[in-house]
Amino acid sequence: MLSQYKNIQVSVDGSKEADLAFSKAVAIAKRNHATLEILHVIDTRSFQNVSSFDSAMVEQVSKDAEKRMKDYQARANKAGVTDSHYSIEFGSPKAIIGHDFPKKHNIDLIVVGATGLNAVERLLIGSVTEYVTRTAKCDVLVCRAKEIANALEG
């Protein structure tokens, strides 16, 4: 059996939807004997409203992200994924998740959660997931929270 996907990217932000996306990406990577690239993007817009820019805050956010990413990678390895890496990027989540990272790592499947921002942020700046599904050059799998999926089915 030929593997359909060789390089899978999963974007995580700590939300339930991202955790579900991670679990699905792990299963797909294992089934396809693929490389799993675990990506977290620190949105630099979140630092624009800080009146006195504090480098200690950026350092703390980076340390927290590093710990979370190591935990994700350990979970992937424990589940049987033999080739996994993690990356922490700074910038626009839309551009990095949808274009820059996939191009740099030859990604052929992006796995994302259905939401990550709150409703007001989605209305004002648009959903990262919606942007990625519309503009990515490779396949995109959107994972919905089980509770949402169950409500839609019932």
Give tens-digit pLDDT for 27-57: 999 999 999 999 999 887 766 655 555 677 7
Does residue 118 carry a pLDDT above 70?
no
Band of residue 139 on the pLDDT scale cut at 50, 70, 90: very high
Identity of the amino acid at 26: V
Neighbours of 114 (CB within 10 A): 19
Does residue 113 carry a pLDDT above 60?
yes
Does residue 144 carry a pLDDT above 50?
yes
SS3 37: strand
Distances from the Cα of 17 to the Cα of 3, 6, 11, 28, 143, angstroms: 26, 23, 10, 16, 7
Q: What are phi and psi of 7, to 5 degrees?
A: -130, 110
Q: What value does the mean pLDDT take over residues 103-117?
A: 87
- CATH superfamily placement of domain 30-137: HUPs (3.40.50.620)
* Interacting residues of 7 by C-beta distance below 8 A, sequence separation 6+: 34, 35, 37, 105, 106, 107, 108, 109
Does residue 99 carry a pLDDT above 80?
yes
Task: Assess contact for 100 and 110: CB atoms under 8 A.
Answer: no
What is the model's pLDDT at position 154? 46
φ/ψ bin of 91: left (φ > 0), alpha (ψ from -120 to 50), beta (otherwise):
left
Q: Where are the domains of the chain?
A: 30-137
pTM for this prediction: 0.83
Q: What value does the mean pLDDT take over residues 17-29?
A: 93
